[in-house]
Every structure is written in structure tokens, then in C-alpha cells.
Amino acid sequence: MAAKDKPRSRSRSRSRDKAQDSARVRPDRASSASSDTDGERASDARSSGAEEFRLGSLLRDDCLFDISVENKDELLHSLAEAVALASAYPSAKQIYNSARERESVVNTYVGSGVAVPHARVSSFEGFAIAIARNPSGVPYGVDTPEPVQIVIFVVGNESLRNEHVRLLAAVANLVKNKKVRQQILEAEDVAAVRKVLDAGAQSPRRRPRQVTKQLLSHARKIARDVGATAVLVAIENPEELKILKKLPRRDTFIVATSSPRIAEDAEKLVSRVLRLPSISLRRDTLVRVGTLMAVTSGFISRDDTVAFLSGQNSSGLDTITVLAISREFGKFLTSSGQISASISATVFERVLTLATELSVEGREGKPVGSIFVIGNPETLSPYCQQLVMNPFRGYPEEERNILDPTLQETIKEFAHLDGAFIIREDGVIHAAGTYLKPGSVDTAELPGGLGTRHQAGAAITAAEDCVSVVLSQSTGQVMLFKKGKVVLSTESHT
């Protein structure tokens, strides 16, 4: 059936279903009218991999469906066959088997009525996307508060592992937007969905105020006058990038943004770009989180003084905050300026981002509290006791790395468990639901009013060389601990 038609009801008779099996899942007829240019663009995008994140160009002709299926296997079979046919790939079964194997490890439902199954197969050319949709929902083998209405199937060459993860992250970030999800459901044909995918990755345009232009234009002079050695600017508006592009020696700036599209465009202008949590933060939290992430990424050192340009409530840049790194974070950094010599900066940033997002989103409308401990599981083991069966035990390491964006919903679901996540320095999740028993910590060094969760999170870092990120269920506050002390305390802006 054409994508613009309404999906068939699953309540129709079995006999009628059987008679229409071959036509039950049919690609969008309107897609056949797409121009050859569109097809060439999609082929070029697939060949280049996920670097460009032009998601619309990865959606092949004949790969948009209004669908009604009896079960998840039928859904994956249909999507695999569509991608194989549209991509001239010889084995739909190989694509299906790869996707099914991934689903057996962890369900790829990402929340908000969207699932992102994916497959990596040999000899596949670049990447391709197929989309199935049904406003009434499709069976996906997971208990969710809302039906799974949109399924975005991503297929790529098995050798493009890093690009594959980045592409999944771009898709997961895009479908957080309720307007984008609704537009995908209502789009008339594949061309319209392509436009939604590309437009949805862009931030809303707004005209920067005059103070934004002045701050960006004079930021380096102001920084010199106040003794700052680095300039970091938080940008969430494409127009601000246009101003930056006109400046001489713009590569001296560090750009921080929560937008994948702005991050991608900023990388063409400057060599240092930070990805911030994709939620609204209080200004003071934004400055401290962004600065610490810049330190752990190696963009600035412990001896630097940073001038941080920021704004609030989409009003443009209007403030410069000056921070001396050694004064703010120095006692928690190694001599080389890292939060830890062994912890990957990407892993640290991912954990901090997850905790910060959980502080705003909660789980199913309810606040959650949790502890994330990053360190060596072997040295931490004397201080750990499993409260419940470890949900990550027995799975391959590559299937339980916190850097995999498709694990995001799984991690957030397990945040309901009492106890802590134990995460290895390279991001492999060792355990969840772990009781920490590191002994006591000097509470005089901690802010007043903290409960046992925070005390345990602080104490484990005093007992061993690790860091912990603690999310308060009652306040939504996120605290980072090292050496038994608070490194960073955040509050979400709601």
C-alpha cells in the first residue's frame, strides 16, 4: 500500500490477511516518481558513510512503509528484504540475521514510540535506512507506555563500526523531537520523509541579537584583558556560526553545542568542538559542565584560564564567565590535566551526559536516582556486592558498552534498580544493581543533607582510584565525586 494510505487494521479477518500476504507490506508507490538525482544522492551518501549525517539521503526509494505485522520477526524480515532489494544486496537473510542477533542481546526500542533496529553485514555499500510506521503501533516485544509507531532500520557495512555508532546516535537524537516524529507519521511519501529527516537535524533559526555579535567579535580581546588563555563559546544557533565564520583566526575558539548538526558544521570552522548534553541547563551548570568536558577532552589544560561565552533561554550570547581551571578543578586532575589517567574522556562525558539527561527526563514520568562508578572492576570488587542478578553478565563486551547509543534506553530502565552501575574505564558496563560497601567517608567534606546514595558514591572514590556520578532522586541534582569529594554539582534548568 502507498505510504500515504492509512495502515490496515490488524483486526481484519485472517482469511483476508492470508489472501493479501504478498501485498501486506508494500513500499511507498510515490517513491517510484523520485528523480534520478535523489537516487544518486542516496548512493553517494551511502558510500561516504555516516560522517555527513544527511539522514534523508540514506532513505532509499521503496524503503518507506505503512505496515501491519503480527510480530517483530515479520517486521524485521520485511525491512531486511526492502533494504536488500533497494541496495542490490544479495542476501536479505544475512541482514535479517544480523538484526535479529542484535535484538536477542538488547531490545532496540529507544523511547517515545520509536525503535531503531540495526544490522552490520559484510560487503554492504556504506549505509541505508528503511522506515516502517503505524500510528496504531507494531509489536516489538517490549512493554512500553506508548505503542511503537515508528521503526527506523539502519544497515551498514560491518567494517564501519565507528561510523555506525555515530549514525545511530544521530538517529536517536533526531527522534527525541516530538514534532519530527509526528511529521514522519504524517508525511505523504518518501520525498517528504527525506525532508523531515534533514530539516529535523537542524536547529530552529533565529536572528542573533546585537550583543551576540559584539561578544563574538570582541571575545578574544576581552579574554586577553581579563587574563584568559582560552575562549569557549556555547552555540545552539546556526546564525551564530555564521558570525564565527566571518572572524579571522576563528580556530582559536572552542565551540560547545548540544546540536549534532551544529557540531558537524562547527567542525568545518574550528578544530575543537564539544558535544553537550541535549537538555536545557542552568547557566552556571552549563559553564562548569562545558569547561570540565573541555579539560577531559584535552582542549584546555589545568593551567588555563577560560573565558566562557554563554546565553540562556535561546536569547543569544550575553555573558562571559571567567574560570581558572586550577582553582575550580585542579585538585581533582592528574598532572596531565585529566580527570583520570585511565578513564576514557569519551566514556566520562557519556556517563555525565546520561546522568544529566536522566535528571531532567526521569523514567516514565517519575524521577530516578542512581550511581555510576567508572573504574577498574577488579580493584572495585572488594567494595561491591550484587543486590540482584546482574543484567549485563554473559553478554559480549561490544554489546554492553555505554558508548553504544542504542543501549541508552536499557541503561535508563536499569537506573530503576537499587544499587550502582559499575563501568570499566573503556566504557564496558560490568554490572548494574550493585551494592557499594566501601566504608565511611568524612562527611565534613560533603555538603549537608546528602543521603546514603551520595555517601556511598563519595566513599567508593576515597577507597579506590575511580570516579562516581550520583543522581539524586529527590532533587534531580547530579554530583561528580573523586577522592571522596565533590568535583562538580549540577542542577537542571526546567
Q: Residue ranges per domain, the chain?
A: 14-200, 210-332, 347-490
Q: Which residue has the higher pLDDT, 101 or 402?
A: 402
Binned at pLDDT 50, 70 and 90, residue 52 comes out as very low
The confidence score (pLDDT) of residue 490 equals 79
Q: Which residues pair with 243 in a beta bridge?
A: none
Q: Are 109 and 144 in contact (CB under 8 A)?
A: yes
CATH number for domain 210-332, candidates 3.40.50.150, 3.40.1380.20, 3.40.50.620, 3.50.50.60: 3.40.1380.20
User: Strands of 253-257's sheet, edge to edge?
Assistant: 273-275, 253-257, 230-234, 305-311, 317-324
Per CATH, 210-332 and 347-490 having the same topology is answered no
Give me the helix-helix angle, 190-200 and 178-186, nearest 10°.
Answer: 170
Highest mean pLDDT among 328-342, 361-375, 386-400, 433-447: 386-400
Residue 17 above 60 pLDDT? Answer: no
User: Strands across the sheet with 485-490, in order?
Assistant: 384-386, 429-436, 420-423, 370-374, 467-471, 478-482, 485-490
What is the pTM (predicted TM-score) of this model?
0.57
pLDDT at residue 336 is higher than 50 = yes
Alpha-carbon distance of 333 to 266, in angstroms, equals 28
| Under 8 Å between Cβ of 110 and 175 | yes
Q: How far apart are CA 454 and CA 460, in angstroms?
A: 10
Burial of residue 386 (number of CB atoms within 10 Å: 0-12, 13-18, 19+):
middle
What is the model's pLDDT at position 102?
Answer: 78
Q: What is the pLDDT of residues 320-329, one digit of tens each?
A: 999 999 888 8
Smallest CA-to-CA distance from 134 within 75, 62, 81, 201 is with 75
Please report where in the chains the cell 537516487 appears, as a residue: 39
Residues in CB range of 398: below 8 A, 6 or more apart: none
Q: At residue 266, does pLDDT exceed 90?
A: yes
Q: Is the pLDDT of residue 83 over 70?
A: yes
Q: Is the pLDDT of residue 367 over 90?
A: no
Decide: helix, strand or coil at residue 231. Answer: strand
Q: Which CATH architecture has domain 347-490?
A: 3-Layer(aba) Sandwich (3.40)
Residue 36: is it exposed, middle or buried by C-beta count within 10 angstroms (0-12/13-18/19+)? Answer: exposed
Q: Is the pLDDT of residue 158 over 90?
A: no
Helical H runs in 203-344?
Answer: 210-225, 238-245, 260-266, 283-296, 325-328
Kindly state the cell numbers that stand for 351. 556517563
> Does the pLDDT value for residue 19 go beyond 70?
no
Ramachandran quadrant class, 227 (left: phi over 0; alpha: psi -120 to 50; beta: rest): left
CATH level 3 topology of 14-200: Mannitol-specific EII; Chain A (3.40.930)
Compute the C-alpha angle 247/54/120, nearest 5°. 130
pLDDT given at position 204? 43
- Give the residue-averaged pLDDT of 107-124: 82
**pLDDT at residue 237 greater than cutoff 60:** yes
